[in-house]
Amino acid sequence: MASRSNIKESIGKPIRCKAAICRKAGEPLIIEEVELDPPKAWEVRIKILCTTLCHSDVSMWKMDSGPLVKFPRIFGHEAVGVVESVGEHVEEVKEGDLVVPVFLANCGECSDCKSPKSNQCTKFGNVYTDKMPRDGTSRFRDMKGEVVHHYLHVSSFSEYTVVDVTHVVKITHDLPVDKACLLSCGVSTGIGAVWKVADVEEGSTVAIFGLGTVGMAVAVAAKQRGASKIIGIDLNPEKFEIGKRFGITDFVNPSDCKEKEKSVSEVIKEMTDGGAGYCFECIGLASLMADAFNSSRDGWGKTIILGVDMHGSPLSLSPYALLRGKTVTGSFFGGIKPKIDVPFLAKTYLDKLNIDDFISHEVGLEDINKAFDYLLEGKSLRCIIRMNH
Ligand SMILES: [Zn+2]
Ligand SMILES: [Zn+2]
């Protein structure tokens, strides 16, 4: 058994390290020692440097029934780390490389990975699994020997993790690790959606439903593309002030619309002379997706769904509005192909875009539950959780 201090000796052996384990839905995570197997073929063991809490972690942490619910579990899927060791057949990364693990696979070999039209890897497409993708087992065990489940192929609330090589993106060492960490999910989703899915052009009007990290990242990218009006829609008025820093030019609070006996879409249509060119839904509520669609412009208005609806609610849209040329599309990870686009974003966007402002808090792994409090209270965009190696 290797300890954390003598990593060279750990290669090929299990590592004992600290992890934040969720044992029951909605309960505080517990910092425990876990044992982590060495990487098998096509796997990479990563020493996590820092990680952040994303809404998808919180949604699954709250969920107490259904086929996706598995405890004990190590959450976390936005992270950056250093390769500790690699399994057989892994050639694209080596020990010491700086990497961003991502929830979306990118095998590079299947027809969809090869197509410029898709970022949905069909060979390794199951995102919501609790296991390693090739052999369907876990690499984590607790001190009683019980299996601890993976989450979104990353499980970064641990000092070390094992990730399939299809979920590992190599980046250059010149990037500050906390900024690089943000590229793992939320910020990339928002930027990618503007850049690849909507292809927002100069002078256009944009409406963003939900001003969390994804929504703010949409604003940042829309501003960079030269959008003339960027409307933020959120129930939390504090988000409006914060949003200005990210490029939000106008705000709509649905509570105020109610008082005026108008729907949100009526208000947005008035503000945009008939409807916004691009509407982004960043929460994951079917009713809000319909609001976004109804706020978009007849003829060519485009609605992009980025929020994950975990309830399976049906989406109700007017067929006649579709006939009039509006479109609605969904996008996992903002249409980003992890292995191509994340390094591109890292190189191109981190200098140009205002990424620092996404980091609202910072805690050590031992205080990870504070990160949950900040996000649940609507105080935080991204709370960096640092590992104390
Ligand atoms: Zn693929
Ligand atoms: Zn996420």
Judgement on whether residues 230 and 244 belong to the same structural domain of the protein: yes
Query: Residue 33 — φ and ψ, nearest 5°?
Result: -80, 140
**C-alpha to C-alpha distance for 156 and 97, rounded to whole angstroms:** 17
pTM exceeds 0.85 for this model: yes
Within-domain flag for 340: no
Of residues 325, 324, 328, the one with CA closest to residue 315: 328
Judgement on whether residues 374 and 296 belong to the same structural domain of the protein: no
Within-domain flag for 227: yes
CATH of the domain at 122: 3.90.180.10
Judgement on whether residues 202 and 180 belong to the same structural domain of the protein: no
Give the pLDDT of residue 197. 96
Task: Report CA(190)–ligand 2 centroid distance (Å).
Answer: 11
Contact 338, 169 (CB under 8 A): yes
Task: Report CA(11)–ligand 1 centroid distance (Å).
Answer: 28
CATH of the domain at 249: 3.40.50.720
Judgement on whether residues 319 and 376 belong to the same structural domain of the protein: no
Kindly identify the ligand whose nearest atom is closest to the C-alpha of 114.
Answer: 1
Within-domain flag for 339: no
Task: Report CA(101)–ligand 1 centroid distance (Å).
Answer: 16
Judgement on whether residues 193 and 151 belong to the same structural domain of the protein: no
Lookup: tokens for 286: 């079917």
Q: Which domain holds residue 66?
A: 7-184+355-386
Task: Report CA(113)–ligand 1 centroid distance (Å).
Answer: 4
Judgement on whether residues 206 and 300 belong to the same structural domain of the protein: yes
Kindly identify the ligand whose nearest atom is closest to the C-alpha of 110.
Answer: 1
Within-domain flag for 214: yes
Kindly identify the ligand whose nearest atom is closest to the C-alpha of 339.
Answer: 1
The 10 Å Cβ neighbour count of residue 95 is 14
Give the pLDDT of residue 324. 93
pLDDT 10s digit of each residue in the chain, 389 long?
554 545 577 889 999 999 999 999 999 999 999 999 999 999 999 999 999 999 999 999 999 998 899 999 999 999 999 999 999 999 999 999 999 999 999 999 999 999 999 999 999 988 889 999 999 999 999 999 999 999 999 999 999 999 999 999 999 988 889 889 999 999 999 999 999 999 999 999 999 999 999 999 999 999 999 999 999 999 999 999 999 999 999 999 999 998 889 999 999 999 999 999 999 999 999 999 999 999 999 999 999 999 988 778 899 999 999 999 999 999 999 999 999 999 998 887 667 776 888 999 999 999 999 999 999 998 889 999 999 88
Of residues 103, 97, 122, 123, the one with CA closest to residue 44: 97
Judgement on whether residues 284 and 231 belong to the same structural domain of the protein: yes
Judgement on whether residues 212 and 88 belong to the same structural domain of the protein: no
Mark the residues whose beta carbon lies below 5 A from ion ligand 2.
Answer: 54, 56, 185
Of residues 213, 274, 224, 223, the one with CA closest to residue 250: 223
Which residues share a beta bridge with 250?
Answer: 231
Task: Report CA(110)–ligand 1 centroid distance (Å).
Answer: 4
Task: Report CA(132)–ligand 1 centroid distance (Å).
Answer: 16
Kindly identify the ligand whose nearest atom is closest to the C-alpha of 55.
Answer: 2
Judgement on whether residues 151 and 231 belong to the same structural domain of the protein: no
Judgement on whether residues 272 and 141 belong to the same structural domain of the protein: no
Contact 86, 95 (CB under 8 A): yes
Contact 73, 149 (CB under 8 A): yes
Within-domain flag for 347: no
Task: Report CA(314)–ligand 1 centroid distance (Å).
Answer: 29
Contact 62, 71 (CB under 8 A): no
Which residues share a beta bridge with 279?
Answer: 207, 303
Task: Report CA(352)–ligand 2 centroid distance (Å).
Answer: 23
Give the pLDDT of residue 383. 96
Within-domain flag for 253: yes
Q: What is the dihedral of CA 212, 215, 218, 223, to 10 degrees?
A: -80
**C-alpha to C-alpha distance for 366 and 387, rounded to whole angstroms:** 9
Judgement on whether residues 229 and 364 belong to the same structural domain of the protein: no
Judgement on whether residues 113 and 99 belong to the same structural domain of the protein: yes
Within-domain flag for 276: yes
Give the pLDDT of residue 353. 73
Task: Report CA(14)–ligand 1 centroid distance (Å).
Answer: 29
Give the pLDDT of residue 258. 87
Within-domain flag for 346: no
**C-alpha to C-alpha distance for 100 and 181, rounded to whole angstroms:** 7
Structural domains in the chain (count): 2
Kindly identify the ligand whose nearest atom is closest to the C-alpha of 101.
Answer: 2
Kindly identify the ligand whose nearest atom is closest to the C-alpha of 115.
Answer: 1
